[in-house]
Amino acid sequence: MIIELNEQNFDKEALHGLKVIEFYTTWCMYCKRQRIELIDLENSDVWIGIVDGDESPNLAKKYKISGFPTFILLKDGEEIARFSGFHDKSQLLAKLTKHIV
């Protein structure tokens, strides 16, 4: 499941449980490629939130996002991992598995 997050719904949607948040921009070519990989993960049980860094600059600032795409893993609102750049589906799953199991 991919949920579009913004400054209005972020706290309600993302601060409880284990959440994968991708910060992206519409002009980023790596982000466009990354979206294809994220869509492939939609059928898994992974909850994925996406935040447009240009549309929600306060969230990007709060999480100190300096490049796109950047992924943050949150567990009950606390950051437990972060990684940047393009990752294919298997790389994403490998990174996530460390924190799910």
Question: For 18-34, how does the pLDDT look when each residue is reduced to its tens digit (9 = 90+)?
Answer: 899 999 999 999 999 99
Architecture of domain 2-92: 3-Layer(aba) Sandwich (3.40)
Least confident segment among 2-6, 37-41, 50-54, 96-100: 96-100
Cut 0.85: pTM above it: yes
Burial of 75 (0-12, 13-18, 19+ CB in 10 A): middle
Instruction: Please say if the pLDDT value at position 17 is more than 80.
Output: yes
The predicted pLDDT at position 101 comes to 59
Instruction: Please say if the pLDDT value at position 39 is more than 70.
Output: yes
DSSP-derived 3-state class of residue 65: coil
